[in-house]
Amino acid sequence: MSFDLQPILAGDLLVLRPLEAEDYQALFAVASDPLIWEQHPASNRYEESVFQTLFEQSLASGGALVATLKETNEVIGSSRYHAYNVAASEIEIGWTFLARKYWGGIYNGEMKRLMLSHAFRFVDSVVLLVGPDNIRSQRAVEKIGGKRDGVRTDGTGLTSYLYRIKRADVAT
């Protein structure tokens, strides 16, 4: 069974579905808030030209999901699967952002639980990379069970804290 990087996942509050080109305006309306990015290494993602590059990369990734409210279908954020490694039995979840109105735990928690449940059908371990100065995201990842497991440097030279969640550590 191959990993479906763009499933439709539904919870009590959210529906996660594959990102489409038509989602650009609604997602940029969320991402245009500078406070979302203030602790992120790419703190200028609220600028449209920078966001447009992120959006195009997300579409091209084949693993991006848009988060919508289940009751209204309003776009409130995005996340994606990346770097599926069959040999290591791991995948990365990242590029997650939510409108500030939905910060505080329950929405991010449900988004990540949906994504983790799906991922653990295919892999033993999920990796999340967080910038060293992004305290808010570090706390959010720890809240869903992420354990810091070293650092990882990407192709651009950016070093992030590596958090890991193992299937064996998640209550089923």
For every residue of the chain, DSSP letters joined together read ----SS--EE-SSEEEEE--GGGHHHHHHHHT-GGGSTTSSSTTTTSHHHHHHHHHHHHHHT-EEEEEETTT--EEEEEEEEEEETTTTEEEEEEEEE-GGG-SSHHHHHHHHHHHHHHTTT-SEEEEEE-TT-HHHHHHHHHTT-EEEEEEE-TTS-EEEEEEEEGGGS--
Q: What is the CB neighbour count within 10 angstroms for residue 67?
A: 31
Question: Has residue 20 got a pLDDT over 60?
Answer: yes
**172 pLDDT exceeds 70?**
no
The span from the CA of 45 to the CA of 31, in Å, is 7
As given in the structure block, the two tokens for residue 6 are 């763009």
How much of the chain, in percent, has pLDDT values that exceed 90? Answer: 81
pLDDT digits (tens, 9 = 90+) for 145-162: 999 999 988 767 788 999
CATH of domain 9-169: 3.40.630.30
- Residue 72 structure tokens: 């209204």
Summarised one tens digit per residue, pLDDT across range 29-44 is 999 999 999 988 888 9
Q: From 79, 62, 58, select the one nearest 14 (Cα to Cα).
A: 79
Provide the residue ranges of all domains of the chain, joining segments of one domain with +.
9-169
Supply the pTM of this predicted model.
0.93
